[in-house]
Amino acid sequence: MTMKTFSLVVLICLLVAVRPAAAAQPAEDSLLVRYRRMALDCDDDLRAAAKRIEASAELERAARAERIPTLSAGGDFRYTGNPLKYAAELPGVGPLTLEGQNWKYGASATLVQPLYTGGRITGAIRMAESETRMSEARRELLRTEVCYRVDLQYWTTVARRERMSVAEDYLRAVADLERVVRERVEAGLCDRQELLTVEVKLNEARYRLLQVRSDFETGRMALNALIGTPLDAETPVGTSLPEVGSGASGLSAAALHPEIRLAQERIVWERGNLQYVDARYKPQLGVGANAGYYAPGYDFRPDLSPNWTLYAQLSVPIFQGGKRRRERSAAEYRIGMAADALHRVETDLDLETRTARTALDEAQERVALAASSLEKAVENERRATEKYVEGAISISEVIDAQLYRQTAQENLVSAKEAARLHFAELLKATDGYRFQ
């Protein structure tokens, strides 16, 4: 075999080995699902949100408890240093002396049942229920945000892993070209300057590999921080970015998105607050019972019967100097503000959904164009190699062809990465993570 034939065979074998990265296996997507769960389990804000829900539920039960009777008890124990004394001479009776006791004690119990509060209790319950639902919506928002951050970091890290593979392929291609050129120089088939040119490109390829490898490790550490694993752990990730499937077309703005539910519950809360404000200026009716025992000395005296009372109490506000009107007006303004906030949230989510979908469609088109460009770049590199071995073109043209192919590979990676990130944005905007 001649040197020319040998060189051609080597370079052709190299070109066959350098192909566009294959699509990621389904198992790699399962990694992302696992990492989402790990991040959800270790997120401090989510744990705090769960406690906030429990606290809201307790306040809701406390508000309901105002409907049932309340029972209170009290007691007192007193010492009088100089009790009153009274002496008198009564006709036919003789002298009579009355003297107070130094020690006095008493005990009482009161039972109260509200009958009518003007809606105060109902308003408080309504606010408490709404607060619980708002806490649940806030937790769902946090869950979405955590999943979104994991997706961004995961796909960014996968993209860096794929760029590292591209850099490794390019380094091997330049190294093989350097070896072939070196053999041709030794055989006297080309000038040594060609070898120097290739060696410079070889060093550049090594530098690029070091750079992307460092980027990959940095990305993996950031992913580890999100999922709660040691920063230096070699967390597995996919080797290449899969293309976004057709499922993205079915995602649309969610009517029950957590942000919308949160804004809706804010309106409910403000209406409950209005009801509560109105109730403070309405008649209040309740019934109660009171029983008490009071006696001097240290011991309970069996000859004294406890006192007891049954009563009904009505309270009617008459004049507050305009306070009711102003407080009610402020509550109505807050309802209007909450309604405006709901409209703004719906508009923003619709815009976010449309923007993400447009960006995703554009990114998918760029993926198709980049894939087509890569095929042409691979074919161009193959033809350039053949012509170089035949002596028809210079080594610089071969190097340019290699760079075109490397650039096409990186462009494809960037396009797929952009598509994945825009798909994550679409999932976030449409509450799609709830179904992941």
pLDDT tier, 118 (very low <50, low <70, confident <90, very high otherwise): confident
- Give the number of other Cβ atoms within 10 Å of residue 79's Cβ: 9
Report the alpha-carbon angle 188-194-195, nearest 5.
80
Q: Is residue 77 part of a domain?
A: no
Pairing of strands 284-296, 70-79: unpaired
- Per residue in 12-44, is it b (16+ CB within 10 Å) or e — as a string? eebbeebebbeebeeebeebbeebbebbbeebe
Query: Residue 337: which CATH number?
Result: 1.20.1600.10
Which pLDDT score, from 0 to 100, does residue 319 have? Answer: 81
Which of 64-68, 97-101, 153-157, 187-191 is predicted most confidently?
A: 153-157
Q: What percent of the chain has pLDDT over 70?
A: 82
- State percent of the chain over pLDDT 90: 53
Question: For the segment 123-153, what is each residue's pLDDT rounded down to a tens digit?
Answer: 999 999 999 999 999 999 999 999 999 999 9
Residue 327 within a domain: yes
Q: Region 175-179: what's the mean pLDDT?
A: 90
273 is a domain residue:
yes
What average pLDDT does this structure show over 254-258?
Answer: 79
* 323-348 average pLDDT score: 93
Give residue 88's pLDDT band: very low, low, confident or very high (50, 70, 90). Answer: low
- CA angle 283–289–292, rounded 5-degree value: 135
Cα separation of 233 and 244, whole Å?
28
What is the model's pTM? 0.81
Looking at the structure of the chain, the number of domains it has is 1
Task: Give the whole-angstrom CA distance, residue 361 versus residue 358.
Answer: 5
361 belongs to a structural domain: yes
Q: At what angle do helices 3-17 and 120-186 cross, to 10 degrees?
A: 170
> Which among 135, 133, 127 has a CA at the least distance from the CA of 272?
127
Average pLDDT over residues 172-183: 89
Q: What is the pLDDT of residue 266?
A: 95
Mean pLDDT (the chain) is 85
* Residue 252 within a domain: yes
Confidence of residue 19 (pLDDT cuts 50, 70, 90): very low
Unique residue bearing structure tokens 């389904």: 26
Q: In terms of Cα–Cα distance, which of 65, 353, 19 is closest to 162?
A: 19
**What's at 379, amino acid-wise?**
E
The pLDDT of residue 211 is 96
Predicted local confidence at residue 26, as pLDDT: 41
Is a pLDDT exceeding 90 seen at residue 10? no
Please tell me the distance from the alpha carbon of residue 144 to that of residue 131, in angstroms, as a whole number. 20
In a domain, 330, yes or no: yes
Count how many Cα atoms sit within 13 Å of the Cα of residue 164 in the half-sphere of its side chain: 20
Write the pLDDT tens digit of every residue in 259-318.
Answer: 999 999 999 999 999 999 888 888 989 999 888 876 665 455 555 567 788 878 888 888
Give the pLDDT of residue 103: 67
Higher pLDDT, 289 or 190: 289
Cβ-based neighbours of 331, under 8 Å, separated by 6 or more: 270, 273, 274, 277
Q: Does residue 99 fall inside a structural domain?
A: no
What are the C-alpha distances in Å from 43 to residues 106, 199, 229, 295, 338? Answer: 56, 49, 12, 62, 30
CA 250, 367, 404: angle at the middle one, nearest 5? 175
pLDDT band at 373 (very low <50, low <70, confident <90, very high): very high
Report if residue 103 sits inside a domain: no
Matching residue, tokens 């002496």? 87
- Mean pLDDT check: name the lowest of 64-68, 126-130, 262-266, 334-338: 64-68
* H or E element, residue 69: none
Output the pLDDT for position 390.
Answer: 80
Residues 356 and 427 sit within 8 Å (Cβ to Cβ) = no
Residue range(s) defining the domain that contains residue 248: 3-71+118-285+320-435
